[in-house]
Amino acid sequence: MEEPATILSALLNRRSISRLKEPGPTLEQLDTIIRAGASAPDHGRLKPWRFVIFQGEARFRFGELLAESLKLRIERQGLTASESQLEKEKFKLLRAPVIVAVCAAIDHEHSIPAIEQFAATAAACENMLIAATALGIGSMWRTGDPSYDISIKAALNLKESDMVTGWLYFGSAEAKTVPNIQNYNHSQYVTYWH
Ligand SMILES: Cc1cc2nc3c(=O)[nH]c(=O)nc-3n(C[C@H](O)[C@H](O)[C@H](O)COP(=O)(O)O)c2cc1C
């Protein structure tokens, strides 16, 4: 695990870490990470977020569902999935000790627009990555085709109109991370409106 960081240094130095190993966050750290997620700004206080945690054997069992859904997606294109494609999908969640699927249970009847409900869950994701970084835990936000697959949404207890905002991977970084803020010139993205 890396050294704990202050919130500001966590914000400025957070990196996506694709290779994450044991140990994962402790129960207490995971609880802090989830609470950080649920502290995100949330228009209308609708609490649209749902957090589905995968660890241990559950990662492999869900991987079997991921592989099955990939097989069907490929078949729907009139093609056949290769063994290596299916194997890769099956073991996907083993890339970190803990994965949290952050989902948006969207109330489409509500006056708060759906995109703002989704935005609250994206803010939750970022809060969680920052909390993890501040705790010295490596993290990565992933999405991909399963996020939009109805069968995967159903397996996560979501409706078709709900969204999977991110699969957040948590664990210990295999190598020391390099901050990405150095030499970063943000002026091209910033203007002052007069
Ligand atoms: C909504 C969202 C989805 C992402 N999905 C993926 C993904 O599926 N695979 C991946 O390798 N990285 C994914 N990322 C991470 C970005 O690739 C990463 O943030 C970017 O490369 C910048 O690197 P950094 O996070 O270290 O600054 C995603 C990030 C966001 C915000």
34-49: pLDDT as tens digits:
999 999 999 999 999 9
Name the β-bridge partners of 101: 52, 167
**How far apart are alpha carbons 86 and 91 in whole angstroms?**
9
- H or E element, residue 173: strand 163-173
**Contact assessment for residue 4 and residue 136, using Cβ atoms and an 8 Å cutoff:** yes
Q: How confident is the model over 129-139, as a mean pLDDT? A: 97
Q: Is residue 60 part of a domain?
A: no
70-127: pLDDT as tens digits:
999 999 999 999 999 999 999 999 999 999 999 999 999 999 999 999 999 999 999 9
Q: Is residue 192 part of a domain?
A: no
Q: Is residue 15 part of a domain?
A: yes
Q: Is residue 44 part of a domain?
A: yes
Asked whether 19 lines ligand 1 (CB < 6 A), one says no
**Residue 6 — very low, low, confident or very high, per pLDDT cuts 50/70/90?**
confident
Alpha-carbon distance values, 142 to 44, 119, 169 (Å)? 27, 16, 8
Q: The dihedral of CA 4, 6, 7, 9: what is its sign?
A: negative
Asked whether 142 lines ligand 1 (CB < 6 A), one says yes
Structure tokens at 176: 């020391």
Asked whether 143 lines ligand 1 (CB < 6 A), one says yes
Structure tokens at 126: 């970022």
Name the β-bridge partners of 140: 169
Q: Is residue 72 part of a domain?
A: no
pLDDT at 178 over 90: no
Alpha helices in the chain (DSSP H): 7-13, 27-37, 57-76, 83-90, 114-134, 150-155
Q: What's the domain range around 146? A: 7-55+94-176
Q: How confident is the model over 17-27, as a mean pLDDT? A: 97
pLDDT at 62 over 60: yes
pLDDT at res. 187: 86
Of 13, 141, 148, the one to substitute when testing ligand 1's pocket (max ligand atoms within 8 A of C-beta) is 141
C-alpha angle 139/143/148, rounded to 5°? 150
Q: What average pLDDT is seen over the chain?
A: 94
CA of 144 to the centre of ligand 1 (A): 10
Share of the chain above pLDDT 90, in %: 86
CATH assignment of the domain containing 51: 3.40.109.10
* The overall pTM is greater than 0.75: yes
pLDDT at res. 180: 65
Domain count, the chain: 1
pLDDT at 1 over 70: no
**Contact assessment for residue 148 and residue 58, using Cβ atoms and an 8 Å cutoff:** no
pLDDT at res. 27: 98
Q: Is residue 66 part of a domain?
A: no
Q: Is residue 164 part of a domain?
A: yes
CA of 127 to the centre of ligand 1 (A): 15
Q: Which residue has the tokens 């935005």?
A: 119
Cβ of 33: how many Cβ atoms within 10 Å? 27
pLDDT at res. 179: 65
pLDDT at res. 182: 60
pLDDT at res. 188: 86
**How far apart are alpha carbons 148 and 187 in whole angstroms?**
35
Q: Is residue 69 part of a domain?
A: no
Structure tokens at 158: 């979501």
